[in-house]
């Protein structure tokens, strides 16, 4: 029984290491895609000339920039997975949809409400995380439970 538990624990650790490795591979692939996208945007100098004459070109350019920003945020989420990073990516996705997409006023309203709710959730998670850190700091500060000064 004990040997099978050790084997299961060993297998669990191996699976965790494989997952971390796959996360790193995905992060590298996303990074390569971001770098290639930046290079293609910067390389196409004629885009800037078209921006001066055609306002519809600005929308396509803005869409490319938003995709880069979302890709960078997604890369950050892969490298430092946390609820805060996931919510930031979702906020950027909703904002991109609202700004770049052809949406109705109702869809814009829903997008604004979505961003507001995501900001509230992010704030709640940040505050509760800070409270947990404070409690942990208090426990570490007072290991015996007393804070009396010895004279």
pLDDT tens sequence across 109-141 = 999 999 999 999 989 888 887 888 888 888 887
- Nearest 10 degrees: Cα torsion 26, 117, 98, 43: -30
Q: For residue 98, what are the domain limits?
A: 82-139
Instruction: Please state the pTM of the whole predicted model.
Output: 0.62
Give me the count of residues in the chain. 151
DSSP 56-72: HHHHHHHHHHHHHHHHH
Q: In this structure, is residue 150 part of a structural domain?
A: no
- Specify whether 29 is located in the same domain as 97: no
pLDDT at 144: 55
Burial environment of residue 69 by CB neighbours within 10 A (0 to 12, 13 to 18, 19 or more): middle
Question: What gap in Å lies between CA 37 and CA 51, rounded to an integer?
Answer: 19
Same domain for 72 and 98, yes or no, is: no
| 45-104 tens-digit pLDDT | 777 777 777 777 778 888 888 888 888 888 888 788 788 888 888 888 888 888 888 888
Residue 146 included in any domain: no
Q: Could you tell me if 70 and 4 lie in one domain?
A: yes
pLDDT of 143 reads 57
């Amino acid at each position: 029984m004990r040997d099978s538990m050790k084997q299961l624990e060993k297998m669990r650790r191996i699976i965790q290491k494989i997952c971390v490795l796959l996360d790193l591979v995905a992060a590298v692939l996303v990074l390569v895609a971001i770098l290639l996208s930046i290079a293609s945007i910067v390389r196409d100098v004629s885009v800037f000339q078209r921006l001066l004459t055609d306002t519809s070109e600005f929308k396509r350019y803005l869409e490319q920039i938003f995709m880069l920003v979302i890709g960078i945020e997604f890369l950050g989420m892969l490298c430092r997975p946390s609820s805060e990073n996931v919510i930031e990516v979702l906020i950027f996705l909703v904002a991109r949809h609202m700004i770049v997409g052809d949406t109705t006023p109702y869809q814009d309203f829903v997008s604004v409400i979505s961003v507001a709710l995501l900001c509230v959730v992010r704030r709640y998670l940040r505050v509760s995380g800070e409270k947990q850190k404070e409690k942990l700091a208090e426990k570490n500060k007072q290991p015996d439970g007393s804070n009396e000064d010895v004279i």
